[in-house]
Structure formats: C-alpha cells, structure tokens
Amino acid sequence: MMGDAMRRARAFGLIHVRLLPMSDSEPSDSIRNDLMAQAGRKLAKAGSQAEVIETVRQSARDICKSDGITIILREGGMCHYVEEDAIAPLWKGRRFPLNACISGWAMLNGETAVIEDVFHDPRIPHDAYLPTFVKSLIMTPLGDNHVAAMGAYWRDRRKFSEADLNTVEALGFLIGKALSKTLDR
C-alpha cells in the first residue's frame, strides 16, 4: 500500500517530480494540487507532532473536498481522535478500541478503507455514526508503522473517484512521513 501512496504523492508532484494533473484538467484539480503542494511544504517543515496535526487541521478538508476530517493517533490498543475540522462535531478527544472502529481497522490492516455508505459496511460501528452527519468516508493509515490514521468524511453518500482516493492517500503519505520525522526526535 505504501507504494500506492508514494505513487499518488508523486502524481501531485510532492516527491521531486513534475506536477501531473489528476484528471481531465478540471480547474478544481489545479487548486487541489496547489493546496496539496502548500500542505506538503508545511508538513516537511513541521518540527513537532502538534505542528503536523495543526497543518492537517487547517488544510486537509479543503484538499480532500470533504465535509470533515479527523486525525487519529494509535495509543496502545486504542484510537485517540486528537483533532478534527468538520461541519459538525465528530469524536475529538474520544478514544475507542482499535478493533471497534474504522480508524483502528485501517491501522491494524495497513489499508485504506473506502466506504460509500457507512450504514452498509460491517466494519463501521453504526451506533457511533447515527448522531453524526457522516454518510461516506475514506480512512487511511499514516506512517510506515501505521501509528495514526486520517479520516475524510462526507455528508452525502457518494461514489469515490480515483482522484478522491489519490488525494486522501497522497496526503496520508505526507502526513505519515511528517509524523514519523517528529517521532524520531
């Protein structure tokens, strides 16, 4: 999976290669690429975990064109939802067992979860989503050791395009790289 994320990061021009369009030259893709490049530069300069998380909070929702994002850190056998930016509150500050939530599933399996309808996916704890706006999501693990995850959420059920998946995974690759750098200090 990391190879796919790296390929996607390269497609955004974030790993020393020319910036490539994500689709048929939609103006929004150009803006998305610019936002991704700006976030990539900020993440590369981040000197602490808090700076990485704040950069993600400020930029990920616009990059992903989502209604909400969240950052989750793995703490032993728990998922700690440390930050979010969303149209309505989600789970900031809460902890859930790794095996009881989709962020834990993504970290434990080292795979991105693409869920078009949260109420029709057995990996989702449906009761946790009932009071939220979330109908669709993409959750991607972060870092080589999957020490964190990032979730992007939408209020409408949707089919995800390759560009949507590329965006979330490329951003996840950059966040994971930045988080790993801060953990090495």
DSSP 8-state code for residue 88: S
Position 184 scores a pLDDT of 58
Report the pLDDT value the prediction gives residue 103, as an integer from 0 to 100: 97
Q: Which residues of the chain have pLDDT under 50?
A: 1-2, 14-27
Domains in the chain: how many in total?
Answer: 1
Residue 116 contacts by C-beta under 8 Å, 6 or more apart in sequence? 136, 157, 158, 159, 160
Residue 126 token pair: 């449906």
Look at residue 67 in the predicted model and tell me its pLDDT.
97
The backbone region for 110, taken as left when phi is positive above 0, alpha when psi lies in -120 to 50, beta otherwise, is left
Find, among 90, 88, 87, the residue nearest to 79 by Cα: 90
Is residue 168 within 8 Å of 137, Cβ to Cβ? no
Note the pLDDT of residue 22.
41
Taking only the tens place, the pLDDT of each residue in 81-105 is 999 999 999 999 999 999 999 999 9
CATH number at residue 97: 3.30.450.40
Find out whether 106 and 112 touch, Cβ atoms under 8 Å. yes
Distance CA 106, CA 83 (A): 17
Task: Identify whether the C-beta of residue 56 lies closer than 8 Å to the C-beta of residue 45.
Answer: no
Starting at the edge strand that comes first in sequence, how are the strands of the sheet with 136-142 ordered? 95-97, 78-86, 68-75, 148-154, 136-142, 113-115
Cα separation, 3 vs 150, in Å, equals 18
Question: For position 26, what pLDDT does the model report?
Answer: 47
Which residues have CB under 8 Å from 132's CB, separation 6+?
88, 90, 153
How far is 97 from 86, CA to CA, in rounded Å?
22
Range of the domain at 87: 2-183
